[in-house]
A and B are shown apart, each in its own frame.
Chain A
Amino acid sequence: MNEVTQLLQAIEKGDATSADELLPLVYEELRKLAASKMAREAPGQTLQPTALVHEAWLRLAGADAPHFNGRAHFFGAAAEAMRRILIDRARRKAARRHGGGQQRVDIDEMEIAAPARDNELLAVNDALDKFAALDARKAELVKLRFFAGLTLEQAAGVLGVSEPTAKRWWAYARAWLFEECKTSVSAQR
């Protein structure tokens, strides 16, 4: 985790290349944390993405957590990492369903509670990609809320916008994405 701390500090100082290195590290950290938790917990347990992200954060920043400057970058990376973990899993599961009925226990399949059912998750993900091309900041807000489970208040803090602004963004983003998902689902039918 030390490496992550250093990266976060570098980013704070304006080192842009460090931002690219952050995601894989945070991704790895979350995956390891989830895997080690699953190994220790009784079978059938489900991990909460929020709890995972925040525990990773606490391990990283310790008691300095509330004051640590790198938090915006960390939560941004964690939201993206969590999105990839959840989407990868949903895709794999879908592929397996299509691929026929071999029953397997896959260690890769970490029991992380997804914020939505698989097909909805994938639809939202596609819609979100489109939306991000249109308005990256609002898409970031959705990611923080939906994948990292932050509250609107927390997400506003990470993005550095006021709560009313975040609220307006949220309303628009939600309507946009809902409309987009609806269209894409009906197009499939």
Chain B
Amino acid sequence: MSFQPGPKMTNLPHNMKPASDSTGGSREESLFESALALPPEQRGAYLDTQCGADAALHRRVAALLEAYGRSDGFLEAPPEAVGPAGTLLAGAPPAENPGDIIGRYKIREKLGEGGCGVVYVADQSEPVRRRVALKVIKLGMDTRTVIARFEAERQALAMMDHPNIARVLDAGTTAAGRPYFVMELVRGIKITEYCDQNNLDTGERIRLFIQVCHAVQHAHQKGIIHRDLKPSNILVTLHDGIPVPKVIDFGIAKATEGRLTDQTIYTQLYEFIGTPAYISPEQAEMSELDIDTRTDIYSLGVLLYELFTGKTPFDSQELLRSGLDEMRRTIREKEPLSPSTRLSSMADADLTTTAKRRRAEAPRLVHFIKGDLDWIVMKALEKDRTRRFETANGLAADLQRFLDNEPVEARPPSNVYRFQKLVRRNKMAFATVSGIVAALALGLVVALNLYVKEKAALRRALQAEQEEAGLRKQAERGLEIERKALAGAELGQKLWRAGVLMSEDHMDQAEEVMKGVPPIPESAAIYYALGMCHARWGRLDRAITNYAKCATVQPTNDLGFHCLLPLLAQAGRTNEFETWRHKALNQFASTTEPEAAERMALDCLILAAPDDVAQRAVKILDNTAATPPRPLAELARGLAEYRQGKFAPAAARLERTANFLTNTNAAMQARLILAMARSKLGMADNTPLPDDDQFSLTGGAWNEQMTSLLFTREARGVTVK
């Protein structure tokens, strides 16, 4: 059952017999345990009687007891590393049982178990007799902090008085030291379940949802943010046959939220379980504590999405499976499918069931949601909270307008806006080159504006001509102008289309569209982004194709080369590497940008190079030389010297520079080249070389990781001494 421990020891200390069975234990152990249970002053006498003539046993147990007394803190895991108790490892019994008294409350039965606590039905006897819900927080949270945070909000919570909000009545500490909260007892079922069980149609669902919005709005006006809105916190009860949604747990998420440091990251991770689908992008950020009412708007958007489609925008299971970092990235950056698209993409059987639960036929349901309702949901789900509905009432009002057949305020995003989003996404994904990508994309937007302007200008010219020229001439000229403007506009459309396709992760289609675009510099951003996606998916050849286009249509930008050259080297396409390195050397022969010079000099020398190539690389560096020398330039010079066989100067230079390289990849590369130079000099170098799998070719700065990997492989061939 238990996992096999490390190597068995043959020489047992203190000539003790191994315990035959762990439950039985040795004589020594049982004496130790019995003695430990006694008050310290009685232990000596106890051992005297038990051990009799066995002085060794006496000494041994006495020593253990003494050791125990002094071992406080020994072997205790670092306190911050201790996760929430029992929760992941189920089976930890609840600390409360029916009949237990907690404060003024008597526990009755268990009502349910949530992410961070167990909820019981309890009876309050004074000052009023009533039945309440009592939630005991089960995690290893700091009780005092939780209670203090609750107290800070208590006044505001007391001000909340709304038929759709379950009131939070009290908070305190159980005898076991866990915080608990007392709430108005709501016996209902999750709003999503209620809707499905009763086959509410979309209109009825919206009406129910609007009431939830009003409840949330009421809380927001009192300064309370819920922070944890999700179906299990929105229960529906029947009052005289009329469904009434009630929002529970107001004020609790905030009180139980730990400071979001690395130490508590695991706790946070746990908190995610069951609800990651409802986490807003700013909550997923985790590094910032800047949460406001718009976080609740996002969660409401997720709920509306689920009410419409039966699915959350992102699947909880998938989010969890992808790991913490990927989960955060998805929530922050990935655009979900719109509800109607999501419905259309379901398997036929699923869609039919989903539609049936909404008393509709599949095509009609999709048609009903497409358009206005899509836009409303997507507006609530905006990653950028300034673009969401400003208030819960605003969201409710737009839904009401939809029900009343009035035009809604939420609009489909404009093409320009979608394109900006693409830029923003790229900026985040491609952290290392964000500025450049944004600049490239901006260039594209400018270019497109120019097309539009050109068209307008041409029209004006046409008008002017119309006024002076005869009708026949006008007709001919008009046609020609229209043709020209159209060609420009069409091109702009194509680029837009490619950008939008990419923003929806349709890489193949985007590439298809780009085939119809002539090699204009404005298309570089698209090729760059396409190359990035392929590279990070490990599709080297397709990445190379796109980066080659990027460097062709906009050769003045070194970043295309900076990705292309490592890729060619990695893919073993050395002839092409040769060609492109000459292009880079020519293109940047007289660059005045030190970053570009450093990148190109290094990239051109990733693979062994003839002397003239190394010389030209050094020349590029000379053009932008600075005092004191820039560390990355020194790295490139060290490499150039190494390639030229000047091992001693290379080693000296890299030793000098190593400490100044703050970039991890650059530091690694310096270390590797240094190791190679030393080996060539016959100097022993015991540094173990990194394994291949220590480099991530799918993350940020993958191209620089790739270069490090190439150096590592080269070093393996050199450092055989």
B18–A134 CB distance below 8 A? yes
Assembly CA distance A106 to B85 (angstroms): 35
A174 touches B68 (CB 8 A): yes
CB atoms of A135 and B18 under 8 A apart: yes
CB closest residue in chain A, given B695 = A39
Q: Are A55 and B266 in contact (CB under 8 A)?
A: yes
313-336 of chain B: CB within 8 A of chain A: 316-317, 320-325
User: In the complex, are the beta carbons of A59 and B81 less than 8 A apart?
Assistant: no
Which B residues from 398 to 440 make CB contacts under 8 A with A? none
Q: Which residue of A lies closest to B712 (CB)?
A: A107
Which residue of A59, A65, A138, A179 is within 8 Å of B67 (Cβ)? Answer: A179
Determine if A17 is an interface residue (Cβ-Cβ < 8 Å).
Answer: no
Complex alpha-carbon distance, A175 and B85, angstroms:
24
Given A107-B694, A128-B6, A140-B2, A151-B85 contact (CB < 8 Å): yes
Interface membership of B471, Cβ < 8 A = no
Q: Are B71 and A175 in contact (CB under 8 A)?
A: yes
How many residues on chain A are close to B (CB under 8 Å)?
80
A75 to B687, CA, bound (A): 33
Is residue A185 contacting chain B, with contact meaning CB distance below 8 A?
no
A94 at the interface (CB under 8 A from B): no
Complex: A61 Cα to B5 Cα, angstroms:
24
A132–B5 touching, CB < 8 Å: yes
The chain A residue with its CB closest to the CB of B266 is: A51
A153→B266 contact, CB < 8 A = no
Please, which residues of chain A bring their CB within 8 A of the CB of B8?
132-133
Write out, one digit per residue, whether chain B residues 231-268 have a CB within 8 A of any chain A CB (1) or not (0).
00000000000000000000000000000001101100
CB contacts (< 8 Å) of B479 on chain A: these are: none
Q: Which one, A45, A55, A124, A176, contacts B269 given CB within 8 A?
A: A55
CA distance A171 to B325 in the complex (A): 38
Q: Are B64 and A176 in contact, CB atoms less than 8 angstroms apart?
A: yes
Please determine whether B263 and A71 come into contact, CB atoms closer than 8 angstroms.
Answer: no
Across the interface, A154 reaches (CB within 8 A) one of B63, B88, B699, namely: B88
Q: Shortest CB–CB separation between residue A52 and chain B, in angstroms?
A: 9
**B273 within 8 Å of A (CB atoms):** yes
Q: Number of B interface residues, CB 8 Å?
A: 76
Within A29-84, the residues touching B (CB, 8 Å) are 32, 35-37, 39-40, 43, 45-46, 48-51, 54-55, 57-59, 62-63, 65-67, 71-73, 75-77, 79-80, 83
A45 to B664, CA, bound (A): 13
Q: Which of B88, B266, B321 has the most CB of A within 10 A?
A: B88
Partner-B contacts on A (CB < 8 A): 19, 23, 32, 35-37, 39-40, 43, 45-46, 48-51, 54-55, 57-59, 62-63, 65-67, 71-73, 75-77, 79-80, 83, 99, 104-108, 113, 115, 124, 128-130, 132-140, 142-143, 145-146, 149-151, 153-154, 157-160, 168-169, 171-172, 174-180, 182
Whether A130 contacts B12 in the complex (CB less than 8 A), given A58-B269, A154-B85, comes out as: yes
- Whether A59 lies near B321 (C-beta < 8 A) is yes
Query: Shortest distance in angstroms between B421's beta carbon and chain A's nearest beta carbon?
Result: 24
Given contacts A50-B77, A134-B19, A149-B77, contact A160 B86 (CB under 8 A): no
Q: A140 touching B3 by the CB < 8 A rule?
A: yes
Decide yes or no whether B274 CB sits under 8 A from chain A. Answer: yes
Closest-CB distance, B75 to chain A (whole angstroms)? 5
Q: Give the distance in Å from the alpha carbon of A50 to the alpha carbon of B82 in the complex.
A: 7
5 pairs across A/B with beta carbons < 8 Å? A48-B262, A58-B273, A135-B25, A145-B75, A151-B140
Do A157 and B90 have beta carbons less than 8 Å apart? Answer: yes
List 8 A-B pairs, minimum CB-CB distance, nearest first. A76-B3, A137-B22, A175-B68, A132-B5, A50-B81, A179-B67, A178-B71, A133-B9
Q: Are B88 and A172 in contact (CB under 8 A)?
A: no
How many angstroms between the C-alpha atoms of A172 and B36 in the bound complex?
A: 10
B266 contacts A48, CB within 8 Å? yes
Please tell me if the beta carbons of A108 and B690 are within 8 angstroms of each other in the complex.
yes
Q: Is the CB of A179 within 8 A of B64?
A: yes
Q: B668 at the A/B interface (Cβ < 8 Å)?
A: yes
* Cβ contacts under 8 Å, B140 to chain A: 151
The residue in chain A whose Cβ has the minimal distance to the Cβ of B13 is: A130
B392 to A: closest C-beta gap in Å: 29
Given A49-B81, A108-B688, A171-B68, the answer on whether A153 and B92 have CB atoms closer than 8 Å is yes
Residues from chain A with a CB closer than 8 A to the CB of B705 are 39
Interface residue B626 (Cβ < 8 Å from any Cβ of A): no
Instruction: State how many angstroms separate the Cβ of A133 from the closest Cβ of chain B.
Output: 4
Given A134-B12, A134-B16, verify A45-B91 contact (CB < 8 Å): no
Residues of B within 8 A of A72 (CB): 1
Please tell me if B56 contacts chain A, counting CB pairs below 8 Å: no
B33 sits at the interface (CB 8 A): yes
Chain B's nearest CB lies how many Å from the CB of A171? 6
Contact across chains for A51 and B81 when beta carbons are under 8 A apart: yes
Q: Once bound together, how far apart are the Cα atoms of A139 and B75, in whole Å?
A: 12
In the assembled complex, B478 has its CB within 8 A of some CB on chain A = no
Q: Does B83 contact A (CB under 8 A)?
A: yes
Give the contacts of B663-682 with A (CB-CB under 8 A).
664, 667-668, 671
Contact A177 B75 (CB under 8 A): yes
Give the nearest-CB partner of A159 in chain B.
B2
Q: Which residues of B contact A99 (CB under 8 A)?
A: 686
